Structure 1
Amino acid sequence: MHILITRVDAIGDVVLTLPLCGYLKQIRPETRITILARNYTKAVIDASDSVDGFIDYDAIFALPEKDQIAQIKQHKFDAILHLITQKDISNLARKAEIPIRIGTISRPYHWRDCNRLIWLRRKVSDEHEAVLHFRLLKPLGIKEVPDELWRYYQMNKLATLPAEFSDLLITDKFTIILHPKSNKNALEWDLQRFSELIDLLDKNRYQIFITGSKKEQEELKPWIDTLPRHVIDLTGQLPLDQLITFIKHTDGLLAASTGPLHLAAALGINTLGLYPNFRPKHGGRWGPIGPKANYIETQTESLDSISAKEVFDKIKVWGKGAKYMGPNV
């Protein structure tokens, strides 16, 4: 069976799709999986052993409709899972005559375009996003949700890291990434709180990196200019495929609910997310999933009620950091 999975939103959303792909590959190894996503998330898909193909959403929908249909038909998909609900994709799948079209009953256009409907309203659910994906497998006869979803990420195909960046990781210190921004996709911790945390992290024990997109680089520069000299600014310097590799070879990452946070969890390093405690953005719904992943929820509608000391108390027990801390910790 060849399955098309749709996830045309942000990097973190695509990361949280991978456990579904990995589980499908485990229980039905003959299954072929293609993901329809945006080109800027392609590096995530390319890193996974469980995904066979990628279709660029923007490239497809830049074509005339007859060419869109022809492009989809040539793949000979047996089924489509609408993990993201968009009318244009739903309509195209029907016109391309994909035999099994699975969508949610809560979207009226799915009544016309899909021939397998399930009851699912993500915005009012407290189940984790990655778990909700599995609900769409019911029409394929798969009803169980496996334990330890992080085992199914299968992000093993990593890009080579240029020496200028790999050399930064040759250190006896605990390497930690602070990723302050979220491309405005989530609530963000105040930069002053990050500064307070940096002051708590002993420069002789921790090597600190700041990451962010090229767009965020300009926004963060005035703040980065105020930081101690031992903090290394990597904002805007790492394309996504190299950022994935760099994250994999560090010891820990701190961020709000954003793509690099979910990448860190999927890659198995120490991961700490900062979340509000209200629906639908709380940690139980969108928290990082990984063997060393954790999160802190605020008790207010702002992340700033989370103190630097509270975050530091979580970080100081991570891996190498714990053995460096001494008798007073």
Structure 2
Amino acid sequence: MRIAVLRANAVGDFLLALPALEALSSRYPGAEITLLGLDWHAAFLRGRPGPVAKVVALPPVTGVSTMEAGHRAPPELFARLRERRFDLAVQIHGGGRHSNPFVRELGAGLTVGLRAPDAEPLDRWVHYGGHQHETLRFLEVAALVGATADRLEPRVEVTAADAAEVAAVLGEPPPGLVAIHPGANDPRRRWPVESFAAVADALGRPVVVTGSRAERDLVAGVVSAMRRPALPLAGVLGLGGLAALYRACDLVVANDTGPRHLAAAVGTATVGVYWCGNLINAGPISRDRHRPLVSWTPACPVCGTDGLDPAVPRCPHDPSWVAGIPVESVLEQAHDLLRSDHRP
């Protein structure tokens, strides 16, 4: 009746986990699912239909809710969480070196989740390794308690509050709108702004360029490189508003990043720029409305460090690993999607 799920990271990470959350909700329809997440989860999921009933925003805990070293879970946190008397605790937050001990401290009747070779076991677990799609990985965990998926791709409902946020900023979005999203947290996943600008110009549609507040320079770079006018929107909309904006678009062209997952989750066609390793773990599962273009760059363009072996440490260089994807290839997929009615 009371299920805790640990998934305390970024937007795309949460969206990839939604099918597993929906599977748990379907298998245990009377249960209350509490997401152990972050502040943004609480804000985004408040009042939004879906499998998550409650969110507990965790403080910084190393390896659980932050990657920064030196953050230990305060003892009162576990006391508060044990008061919720979870029947089941689900760890879909990585290999478990830090997250499995955290989940075991919740005092749940049953713990299930992922386990890398260096992690503590849970009551039931599946092997965690590289090169597996995250959604399918999480569904393996859900299957440990009899939960199976009705669908493999996430869906997010756009609310009236989301639509009102867009209306306050844009009014009525123009018909035929295309969104360009040039950002990504990892600079190596960013396609050049000039390439995005060339695509936006060639499509001949009304264009909005989206980004976070920290991505203002990237957004401005695309707009200034374009020959046609475009509307820059960097840090203007919240995540719900961004969902509503993307729902109003005919197409979103983006790097491999949370906003591309969000656009797909609200039913909008996407063209995504992917590095090959990331495509395996986080690419779109279907190809009817979602077209990934893939860079097969195997190593750092600066120093040659192997990027295909998960055991090799990341080098300090940040050049784009996807810059070689041709503009013409992206345009081909974008035109094909825009020629057809690919809305669900």
1:108 correspondence with 2:118: yes
Counterpart of 1:140?
145
Shift of 1:253: 0.6
Q: 1:79 aligns with which of 85, 88, 97?
A: 88
Shift of 1:180: 0.4
Counterpart of 2:306?
none
Q: Tell me which amino acid in the other structure corresponds to 1:58.
A: P
Shift of 1:234: 0.6
Aligned residue runs from structure 1 range 45-64, under 5 A = 45-46=45-46, 47-58=48-59
Q: 1:287 aligns with which of 266, 283, 286?
A: 283
Task: Give the distance between the partners of 1:7 and 1:139, measured in 2 at CA.
Answer: 17
Greater displacement, 182-191 / 266-275: 182-191
Task: Give the distance between the partners of 1:133 and 1:213, measured in 2 at CA.
Answer: 28
Q: Tell me which amino acid in the other structure corresponds to 2:284.
A: P
Contact kept, 8 Å, 1:78 with 1:99, in 2: the verdict is yes
Aligned residue runs from structure 1 range 158-169, under 5 A = 159=162, 160-169=164-173
Identity %: 21
State the Cα RMSD in Å: 2.7
Q: Tell me which amino acid in the other structure corresponds to 1:55.
A: V
Task: Give the distance between the partners of 2:260 and 2:217, measured in 1 at CA.
Answer: 21
Contact kept, 8 Å, 1:255 with 1:274, in 2: the verdict is yes
TM-score, normalised to structure 2, is 0.79
Shift of 1:64: 6.7
Task: Give the distance between the partners of 2:229 and 2:253, measured in 1 at CA.
Answer: 18
Listed one character per residue, the Cα deviations across residues 278-308 of structure 1 (whole Å, up to 9, x for unaligned) are x3x2x24311356622212123353222211
Count of aligned pairs: 306
Contact kept, 8 Å, 1:261 with 1:273, in 2: the verdict is yes
User: Is there any run of 5+ residues in structure 1 with no aligned partner, and where?
Assistant: 324-329
Aligned residue runs from structure 1 range 176-325, under 5 A = 176-184=178-186, 187-202=189-204, 206-228=205-227, 230-277=229-276, 279=277, 281=278, 283-289=279-285, 292-301=289-298, 302-319=321-338, 321=339
Q: Tell me which amino acid in the other structure corresponds to 2:325.
A: I
Shift of 1:182: 0.5
Shift of 1:255: 0.9
Q: Tell me which amino acid in the other structure corresponds to 1:161.
A: E
* Distance change (3 Å), C-alpha of 1:262 and 1:222: closer
User: Is there any run of 5+ residues in structure 2 with no aligned partner, and where?
Assistant: 66-70, 299-320
Aligned residue runs from structure 1 range 149-164, under 5 A = 149-150=152-153, 153-157=155-159, 159=162, 160-164=164-168
Shift of 1:215: 0.6
1:37 correspondence with 2:37: yes
Shift of 1:109: 3.7
Counterpart of 1:119?
127
Shift of 1:17: 1.0
Task: Give the distance between the partners of 2:19 and 2:188, measured in 1 at CA.
Answer: 22
SS in 1 for 2:52: coil
* Distance change (3 Å), C-alpha of 1:274 and 1:42: farther
* Distance change (3 Å), C-alpha of 1:81 and 1:199: same
Shift of 1:311: 1.0
SS in 2 for 1:104: strand
Shift of 1:10: 1.4
SS in 1 for 2:183: coil
Q: Tell me which amino acid in the other structure corresponds to 1:298.
A: S
Listed one character per residue, the Cα deviations across residues 64-87 of structure 1 (whole Å, up to 9, x for unaligned) are 733111221122211111111355
SS in 1 for 2:177: strand
Counterpart of 1:94?
104
SS in 2 for 1:196: helix
Contact kept, 8 Å, 1:212 with 1:236, in 2: the verdict is yes
Task: Give the distance between the partners of 1:80 and 1:186, measured in 2 at CA.
Answer: 35
Counterpart of 1:326?
none
Contact kept, 8 Å, 1:214 with 1:236, in 2: the verdict is yes
Task: Give the distance between the partners of 1:252 and 1:49, measured in 2 at CA.
Answer: 24
Contact kept, 8 Å, 1:252 with 1:269, in 2: the verdict is yes
Contact kept, 8 Å, 2:219 with 2:233, in 1: the verdict is no
Task: Give the distance between the partners of 1:129 and 1:95, measured in 2 at CA.
Answer: 25
